[in-house]
Amino acid sequence: MSRTGFRTLGWARSPKQIEGVECFDGPHSLDEVLAQADIVVNMLPLTPATEDMVDAAFLGKMKRGAAFINTARGRHVVEEDLLAALDAGQLSHATLDVFRQEPLPEDSPFWSHPGVTITPHISSIADPETGAVIVAENVRRFEETGEWSHLVDVAAGY
């Protein structure tokens, strides 16, 4: 149970241990997570393996009536499949912060769809105070150990 009182499931390619999160990993456990979640939040990196990942098959494995939030990258989602899942009632709602084409064209059906909330690409605004703490900690760590934390793994794509 998370600190907010909600059961929180997390999925990643590799094993993780996060306090308050039931962690699942590997390709086979994703279906289990999708079938249980009332809200699926996509925060995955965009790689060749995750591009177009949220398609009709993915959405069809989600719990009927669940909601979907995308704060990662627009190219994760096959937009036509998402609209079809909303129209069919497979999903109850989608909150979208990113799109395949940005800015979102004026004639996009997302603007008028009753099951869609659009946010202005604000999923991760850096707060100067907390950002400074992270940078300072990383510099301190490097000075003490010669190692950086939170580095991009070029081979993995994120």
Give 13 or 84, the one with higher predicted confidence.
Answer: 84
Single out the catalytic residue among 73, 100, 140, 150: 73
Other residues' Cβ atoms within 10 Å of the Cβ of residue 102: 9
What are the tens digits of pLDDT across the range 79-101?
999 999 999 999 999 999 999 99
Q: Any idea where the domains of the chain sit in the sequence? A: 37-124, 126-158
69-80 residue pLDDT tens: 999 999 999 999
From its phi and psi, is residue 82 left (phi > 0), alpha (psi between -120 and 50) or beta? alpha
Q: Is 142 helix (H, G, I), strand (E, B) or coil?
A: helix
List residues bridging with 117 in a β-sheet.
Answer: 95
Given the residues 13, 75, 113, 121, the one annotated as active site = 121
Torsion, Cα of 54, 55, 60, 61 (10° steps): -40
13 is catalytic: no
| CA distance linking residue 50 with residue 46, whole number of Å | 6
Which numeric CATH code is attached to 37-124?
Answer: 3.40.50.720
Verify whether residue 28 is a known catalytic residue. no
Give the pLDDT confidence of 95-150 residue by residue, as tens digits: 999 999 999 999 999 999 999 999 988 766 667 887 788 888 888 888 899 887 77
8 A C-beta contact, residue 30 and residue 54: no
